[in-house]
Amino acid sequence: MSGSTFGKIFRITTWGESHGPGIGVVIDGCPAGLSLCEEDIQRFLDRRKPGQSKYTTRRNEADSVEILSGVFEGKTTGTPLSLLVRNQDQRPRDYGNIASLFRPGHADYPFTEKYGFRDYRGGGRSSGRETIGRVAAGAVASLILKELGITVRAYTKAIGPYEVSDGDIHYDQISENSFYMPNNAVAEKAGEYVSSLMADRDSCGGIIECTADGLPVGLGEPVFDKLDALLAQAVVSIGAVKGVEIGDGFAASRSSGSKNNDPFFSENGVISKKSNHAGGTLGGLSDGSRLILRAAVKPTSSIAKTQQTVNISGENAEITVLGRHDPVIVPRAVVVVESMTAVTLADLLLQNMTSSMEHVKKIYT
């Protein structure tokens, strides 16, 4: 079944394997007249590129994007955008070990059971490289949002147990450390933690937070396509994400109604909320406040420590996953979470356009 498409109007369809000829995405439903060039997309892709710090794999890939369709004289034409990134680092090597063993924490076993066999080269379709298509699409979605004054921003909230508390967030520090954390001091401690794990052939996870400002009120479609529900799908569909929460999230479950409800108030004719425990959604629709979500990322599954497992013949075995692996994928996943959020918002902005006869008449009369 076709699970490679996301979105209803702004629809993205990703394809590609880690060690095949390339990776890409087709975006159908992008409105015509949006200024777009390859650099706009490359800027996003560069944020997820490997080899940018000592905490990421040194796999050497330029990940250059080519626009194959949908743009004419610098503007989108309304027809599908096809974006291609060629895989460069396809050096032939011995996958024999990986080919015959199911790596713990990986999709090897269920893929083999589902399809009868699997592309064992570097994880195939389950590789982190799959996110290239998401990020390329996110770049395009972000341009639409930008034209409407909407800003999406993701960063690392926590690396393992090292978390930036809400009061200590400094946006200007995000790009100043290897972890994209809004606090250099916490990032430094996180760095020491990750280094010690690397020495121990181990790995860790973390939490990514993403916000969106400038959203109109009313985005999201009741009942199943609520803003928060689609964001939940979008974010949990990223490999290694094991949980998502909106606003206070799980903490809200321990609060009381009188504390958790955000009171409305009006000032100079503008309706706002005095607090934002809700994280920007009410009844699944955007409420005009900042959208806030957090994604829990599990520790990297590929570790060099010896683990117990089973081979494809069903016999017990041991495995040591060698090769180039990030000790923590959180920093590189930041732009993926931001991209999936942007794609979801762009789609819901387009969906919302048809919500009332007033809108319909604005376009047609």
**Of the candidate residues 246, 291, 333, 337, the single one contacting a second copy (CB under 8 A):** 246
Rounded-to-integer distance, Cα 225 and Cα 89, Å: 39
Rounded-to-integer distance, Cα 295 and Cα 59, Å: 25
The tokens describing 365, both together, are: 């009369």
Cis? peptide before 223, omega within 30° of 0: yes
Determine if 130 is a binding residue for a second copy (CB under 8 A). Answer: yes
Of residues 153-172, those binding a second copy (CB under 8 A)? 158, 160-161
The tokens describing 345, both together, are: 């918002």
Rounded-to-integer distance, Cα 156 and Cα 183, Å: 9
Of residues 171-210, those binding a second copy (CB under 8 A)? 197, 202-207
**Of the candidate residues 38, 52, 64, 75, the single one contacting a second copy (CB under 8 A):** 75
Closest CB 38 distance from a second copy, rounded Å: 11
Complex with a second copy: residue 172 or 253, whichever CB lies closer: 253
**Of the candidate residues 4, 52, 100, 184, the single one contacting a second copy (CB under 8 A):** 4
Closest CB 37 distance from a second copy, rounded Å: 14
31 DSSP 8-state letter:
P
* Contact range with a second copy by CB under 8 A, out of 44-52, 168-176, 182-190, 285-293: 285-293
Residues 293-322, one symbol each (x = binds a second copy by CB under 8 A, - = not), give ---xxxxxxxx-x-xxxx---xxx------
Cβ burial of 258 (10 Å; 0-12, 13-18, 19+) is exposed
Among residues 64, 75, 77, 55, the alpha carbon closest in space to that of 23 is found at 64
Closest CB 342 distance from a second copy, rounded Å: 15
Closest CB 145 distance from a second copy, rounded Å: 10
Which residues have C-beta within 8 Å of that of residue 245, sequence separation ≥ 6? Answer: 293, 294
Determine if 228 is a binding residue for a second copy (CB under 8 A). Answer: yes
